[in-house]
Structure 1
Amino acid sequence: MCEHHEEVARPSVARRTLIRGAGGLLLGGGLVTASATAASAATSQNGWPAGYSSQIPLSRLVVGPADFPAGVRTGQVHTILGYVARRMHNEVEALVDGWCWGHAYRPISGSTTLSNHSSGTAIDINAPRHPLGAAGTFSSTQVSRIRSILSYCDGVVRWGGDYSTRKDEMHFEINVRPGDARLTTLVNKINGGSSYETNETWTTVRRGASGFRVTAIQHLLRARGYSLTVDGSFGSITESKVISFQRSRGLVADGIVGPKTWGALVITCQQGSTGQAVVAIQKLLTYRGYSLTADGSFGSITKSKVVAFQQSRRLYPDGIVGRVTWSRLTV
């Protein structure tokens, strides 16, 4: 987990060791009381009431495979941070279970000010990939998509990658105080203005199957470096390649393409992409009634067909074939 925010307009404080104990938080040589009364009266950096998980309203947050331990603050905060996490999962990078974090009662590293995690108003996403203090952990394309998410949130959400001092690119937080009218406006926008489907729906495919899904699997295996003929028939050779791929990803090597194998196998594609994964997308679109040439080049025509397909399925119409769009193309 990040440590958890840039420090803003406060005296320099040397980094101290944090020790959790039954009596409180020990910072360096001093004890900061952590009784129920003190915790419930405290506020995090952004002005929200902070406390232990038993003292503030929290709800579980699950996005894709990722369960955010302790959850996040119930109500408007949960709606907003859940929206951010879902779009990060669908548009930026797949969330990894065990790498994402929510509420934690603790101060900011090097400070006595409580982190926004302490009020359940912050989340960390894929922390090991985006460690505290590191910059440039997302590609330029990913940053562009993060900017789109932040823009949609109209200043209500702040990203740790925008900190002026120590970067914290895993981190997203509520950037307004309780009762700010922008919270209600954004929640209404999320609930009423963007009713996009965000859940993945995969069809399990195994030996003996044939047809468009098998064709897509074979093209994706070729895209992953496995040599085989694309014939739309799931025979022993295709099964053996699936097993090899599963072993390479630490999955159950049963030769069955279920949700976890699909999720690992698909490749996010967008305008400018080329190769076997694009061929698979083009063939799937044609099968779905959006006819185009399967030339392996993701140009403007392919993008327009993707957008049309996404709109028909109430998916976010960005023309990018991520996990959710892949799942709908192959369902």
Structure 2
Amino acid sequence: MTEISRRTALKHAAGITGAAALGTALLPAAPAAADDRFGKAVEEARRTQRKIRTGEPSANGWEMEKAADSGGAVWTRPVSGTDFGVATRIEGPGTVLVHVIRRFHYEISALEEGDVTGWTHPDAVEAGLAESNLASGTAVSIRPGHYPRGARGGFFPGELTVVRDILAELEGVVRWGGDERTPHEALFFLGVPPGDPRLNKAVGKLERWAYEPEAGAGTHVDVFSPQRRKEARALRERQRSV
């Protein structure tokens, strides 16, 4: 072997040995780096939650939040059949509230951008009243300018029949502000606390209807049928007595 080829061979061997040693040294670092990134992500999520969460419940028992669309439990979701969205609590609460909005839109009066208010900052609602549920993302206010708090009689009889039918269809999971001691007819809010099985039952029904062409919001509903009227009246009496 010549001196040049000998030196070349030695360099090649040294390179292989060095690369192997470097690779061995780096192997433990990869999981450590991943763990570090994960830890930072978790801490960032915790900081976000501390900024958003209040630790205080709204009137129906769901925790109020300080922001929407910011990493918490309240996000803006589209309202199918309209050109706007509404900020509500994710999953079950949002599903039933959007159903209320859609039936109102199809059966009482067509709604536009700006007609519906969802999540509202806790500082802008009165604690202890049903309107505080807006701050937890578990309520919506539909045309609040038409139905101001404290006033009754904002709906025509036929429209009120639809409102009662919507509530009965959801089996009492949603309440109407018009039944409050201080009426707030624009307000519809979740009437069950976190973990109540009635919410999951109502959501399951709505999810099944999504695959049935003759069921759900936007389909023909005979709100004056004797059975539906009976169920609506029974629920009205139960909710008014609470």
User: TM above 0.5, one fold?
Assistant: yes
Change (3 A) 1:57 1:130: same
Task: Give the helix-richer structure, 1 or 2.
Answer: 2
Query: Would the aligned equivalents of 2:59 and 2:128 in 1 still touch at CA under 8 Å?
Result: no
Q: What is the SS of the residue equivalent to 1:42?
A: strand
Q: Secondary structure at the match of 1:56?
A: coil
Between the aligned partners of 1:143 and 1:133, the Cα distance in structure 2 is 17
- Structure 2 counterpart SS, 1:60: strand
- Residue 154 of structure 1 aligns with an amino acid whose one-letter code is E
Residue 52 of structure 1: aligned partner? 66
Distance in 2 of aligned mates of 1:66 and 1:132:
26
Moved over 6 A (4+): none
Deviation, structure 1 residue 177: 0.5
Aligned counterpart, 2:186? 170
Question: Which stretch shifts more, 100-109 or 115-124?
Answer: 100-109
Q: CA deviation at 1:193?
A: 4.0
Percent identity, aligned pairs only, is: 31
Q: Which residues of structure 2 form unaligned runs of 5+?
A: 1-48, 224-242
Contact 1:107 1:115 in 2 (8 A): no
Contact between 2:125 and 2:135, CA under 8 Å: does it hold in 1? Answer: no
2:151 maps to a residue whose letter is: A
TM-score (norm 2): 0.62
In the alignment, structure 1 residue 139 sits paired with structure 2 residue 156: yes
Q: Distance in 2 between matches of 1:98 and 1:65?
A: 12
CA distance in 1 between partners of 2:64 and 2:125 (Å):
16
- Alpha-carbon separation, structure 1, partners of 2:123 and 2:168: 28
What is the alpha-carbon distance in structure 1 between the residues aligned to residue 140 and residue 190 of structure 2?
Answer: 9
Aligned to 1:294: none
Query: What CA distance in whole angstroms lies between the structure 2 residues aligned with 1:142 and 1:196?
Result: 25
Residues 169-190 of structure 1 deviation map (CA, whole Å, 9 limit, x = unaligned): 1100001011100011000111
Which protein has the larger Cα radius of gyration, Structure 1 or Structure 2? 2
Q: TM-score, normalised by structure 1?
A: 0.46
Q: Does residue 189 of the first structure (1) align with residue 192 of the second (2)?
A: no
Higher relative contact order by CA 8 Å / sep ≥ 6: 1 or 2? Answer: 2
For residues 58 and 159 of structure 2, what CA distance do their matches in structure 1 show? 29
Instruction: In structure 2, give the amino acid aligned to 1:88.
Output: F
In structure 1, stretches of 5+ residues that fail to align are: 1-34, 198-310, 321-331
Cα distance change on mapping 1:130 and 1:196 into 2, 3 Å: farther
Once residues 107 and 187 of structure 1 are traced to their aligned partners in structure 2, the CA distance between those partners, rounded to angstroms, is 30
Q: 1:195 to 1:146 in 2, by over 3 A?
A: farther
Residues 82-93 of structure 1 mapped to structure 2, 5 A cutoff: 82-93=98-109
Deviation at residue 68 of structure 1 after TM alignment:
4.6
Deviation at 1:145, TM superposition (A): 0.5
RMSD of aligned residue pairs (Cα, Å)? 2.9
Residue identity opposite 1:58 in structure 2: V
Farther off after superposition, 54-63 or 183-192: 54-63
Give the 3 Å change call, closer, same or farther, for CA 194–65 of structure 1 in structure 2: closer
Match of 1:150 among 167, 173, 177: 167
CA distance in 2, matches of 1:38, 1:56: 6
Aligned length: 170
Partners of 1:122 and 1:189 in 2: CA distance: 20
CA contact (8 A) 1:36 1:55 kept: no
Residue 219 of structure 2 aligns with which residue?
Answer: 316
Name the structure 2 match of 1:41.
Answer: 55
Aligned equivalent of 1:97, options 97, 110, 113: 113
Matched, 1:159 2:176: yes
Question: What does the per-residue CA deviation read over 1:100-126, in whole Å, with 9 as the maximum and x for residues that have no partner?
Answer: 100112257554778111110000111
Q: Secondary structure at the match of 2:188?
A: strand
> How far has the Cα of 1:37 moved from its partner?
6.3
One-letter amino acid of the structure 1 residue matched with residue 220 of structure 2: P
Superposed counterparts of 1:98-247, under 5 Å: 98-106=114-122, 111=127, 115-164=132-181, 166-193=182-209, 195=211
Contact 1:96–1:126, Cα closer than 8 Å, also in 2? no
CA shift at 1:318, angstroms? Answer: 2.6
